[in-house]
Amino acid sequence: MASTVSDRTGYGRLLRTPGAWTFLLPGFAARQPFAMLTIGIVLLVQHTTVSYGSAGAVAAVTGVSMALFAPQSGKLADRIGQRAVLLPGVLVHAASVSALTALALAEAPLWLLFLAAVPTGASVPQVGPMVRARWAALLGAAPGRKASPLMPTAAAFESVTDELTFVIGPVLATALCTGVHPAAGLVAEAALTLAGGLLFAAQHRTQPAVRATTSVASERHTSALSVAGVRVLAVAFLGIGAVFGGMQVSLTAFAEEIGRPGANGLLYGIFAAGNMLAGIACGAIAWKSGPRRRLIAGYAALTLTASGLWAVHSMPLLAGLGLLVGLSIAPALISGYTLVEALVPASVRTEAFTWLTGAVALGQAAAVTVAGQLADAHGASTGFVVPLVGTVLALVTLVTLRSRLTPRAPGRGSGRTVARGVGHREPVTVD
């Protein structure tokens, strides 16, 4: 099924790509909001309202707002450039988070928190998709240039980076909220967004070229969502969001329930660490199976491991099962992002990535709301049903509509290739 990747196409060579570090370091700081925002809101609003349901609802409004606006942000970045979108975006986000924090501390009515949550979510900078688009611009196929064999390695590397943010972000936010002040997590999130976002926007040399949209060919691709495979992947990524949201709220409620609120950071850190370790492993292996098959296998494993969460009442057992759930997420994420690069043209690549990111945010929003209500009414364990339901629905969708994940035949000859694993590319096929 797999073999080790040679150094010729491994992480070392990828990181020696000219200009890579100029956007990777600021991009890492600027993508923390996606990992810190939900848990920061949950911990602050739960502290001021003493209700996981209210906390989850405010976080959900933020997530829904992000899911609706993220693809529009990606579309604008493709049309007018990443810098033009990021500069006002990070300023609006920092101001919105500050307003939400102040309202929560003032114990404002819930409807005012909802009102502040809308611009907070809408302005979350889509740095992850923008970094992926920069890798694609540097390494992907272009007129007169074949795609680099490092392109799938870059996809794996970006997934590892995403998982690392989900190791650091929630743990950092939890430590700040529980050890410093309930609002400290959101304050740090806003500061990182502002500093990282402005530094990332300043790296204009690696920014993908703005593509004209007036040609007939471009008009056919006015939205990445017009591609059937992107719609299927967006639905599937709702399941990953359900895992993230359900785990954040349920682990927080579980730690409170057993009288050890500080253990939430440790439990979520173990879950996220499994996610990151699996991402590293996926990037170190050249798979002989295609990304579509790996995507379905990843979701099957995710569904299986999530099925036991609700029945576990021991902290060590929950940590162990959470690790297994985390190990199952990265293969699904990496395979999904690898498929996107093959499914859409370069002119809508950033938008396509943001549809998946937005789907994760929407799934997370729904999950924190439902899991919060279940935890309030029936205890922490019932909140863990949410990740299971989300992954089951996603798996059924993928299996039923898997034929939609096949890239269309290229219009220009037979030179189009699809990433099938780290370190190599093969003719159009996804199995």
The per-residue pLDDT for range 339-353, each reduced to its tens digit, is 887 787 767 777 888
Q: Is 227 left (phi over 0), alpha (psi -120 to 50) or beta?
A: beta
Q: Is 50 left (phi over 0), alpha (psi -120 to 50) or beta?
A: left
> What confidence tier does 215 reach under pLDDT thresholds 50, 70, 90?
very low
Coil, helix or strand at residue 316: helix
The per-residue pLDDT for range 384-430, each reduced to its tens digit, is 999 999 999 999 999 999 888 876 555 443 333 333 333 333 333 45
Pairing between strand 417-421 and 285-287? unpaired
Question: 5 exposed, middle or buried (CB, 10 Å; 0-12, 13-18, 19+)?
Answer: buried
Q: Residue 422: what pLDDT? A: 30
Q: Which of 97, 91, 89 is nearest to 129 (CA)?
A: 89
How far apart are alpha carbons 369 and 371 in whole angstroms? 6
Given the structure tokens 């600027």, which residue do they identify? 30
> What confidence tier does 272 reach under pLDDT thresholds 50, 70, 90?
confident
Q: Residue 9: what pLDDT? A: 54
> What confidence tier does 97 reach under pLDDT thresholds 50, 70, 90?
very high
Whether the model pTM is above 0.75: no
Q: How much is the CA Rg of the chain, to the nearest whole Å?
A: 20
Q: Hey, what are 400's tokens?
A: 């039923």
Residue 106: CB atoms within 10 Å: 9
